[in-house]
Amino acid sequence: MALSGSTLGQAIWTSLQVTFPGLATLYRANPDAGVGTHRPMEQIALALGMSTVSVLTTTAQHTSAIVGTTVGASPVTPNPFPAVFPGSGATSTAVKATLLSSLGWNGPAGSKVLDSLIQPALDYVVTNTGLLFAGAITPSGATMITTLAASPTPTTLASQISEAAQTTLLASGFFHLMDDPSQGLALELVKLLNAWSTGLMTMMSTLNTPIPVAPIGGAGGGAATFTGAFV
């Protein structure tokens, strides 16, 4: 249970190849503009994977609130604790429908592309996200309920993921508009990165993890909420 940007990127790339056989043989290059040989969808998949995990593990936070009587200090075991995203399946279905609408992709191919991009990411995050806590939780109760922290907001996190992916793709030299280094990314690619990041963070907003915290004695008191990191 640990998030890996390269593993997530490869999962997305593999999903695309399964959906579109032969994709691995489709290369692009423009020697006259100094653009080397590359597979565009592979580069996009890897950029999304690395950017997502970088933001989740350095910026995103989770918050736990005590449920029950505060009775003392107790560690979280195991630490990191597996994250739970209730209803993530239904949420992912709604997310994909919303993204298709926002992108204006009406044909069957658009749905297949988006599904291949977003579903492996949702599956990977649901399966591998860990909630890290620093030290003992004081006070403790019968249970803590852990949710996505209010700050940074999901919207902010989505923007950071998209911006990081855009920076990575521009730095590769493969995705400048018209292969002109003075230009940014094509608008449609920016829209895709924004929509993808928003969809992932919408699903992560369903984080709702009950964590049993067995008291080890001592008096209660102090703050009843605790903030930690994702790993």
- Tens digit of pLDDT at every position of the chain (231 positions): 689 999 999 999 999 999 999 999 999 999 999 999 999 999 999 999 999 999 999 999 999 887 766 666 677 889 999 999 987 777 778 888 888 888 888 778 888 888 888 999 999 999 999 999 887 676 666 788 999 999 999 999 999 999 999 999 999 999 999 999 999 999 899 999 999 999 999 999 999 999 887 665 554 444 467 889 999
Report in angstroms the alpha-carbon separations of 229 from 79, 98, 105, 146, 220: 11, 28, 35, 11, 24
Q: How far is CA 231 from CA 9, 133, 142, 202, in A?
A: 16, 10, 24, 19
- At 54-104, the pLDDT tens digits run 999 999 999 988 776 666 667 788 999 999 998 777 777 888 888 888 888
Contact by Cβ (8 Å): 135, 62: no
- How far is Cα 99 from Cα 191, in angstroms, rounded to an integer? 10
The C-alpha atoms of residue 41 and residue 18 are separated, in whole angstroms, by 13
What's the total number of domains in the chain? 1
User: Rounded to 5 degrees, what are φ and ψ at 80?
Assistant: -70, 155
**In which domain, by residue range, is 48 found?**
5-230
Dihedral (Cα; 9, 10, 15, 18), 10-degree rounding: 150
Q: Using only C-alpha atoms, what is the Rg of the chain?
A: 20
What is the CA 101 to chain-centroid distance, rounded?
Answer: 21
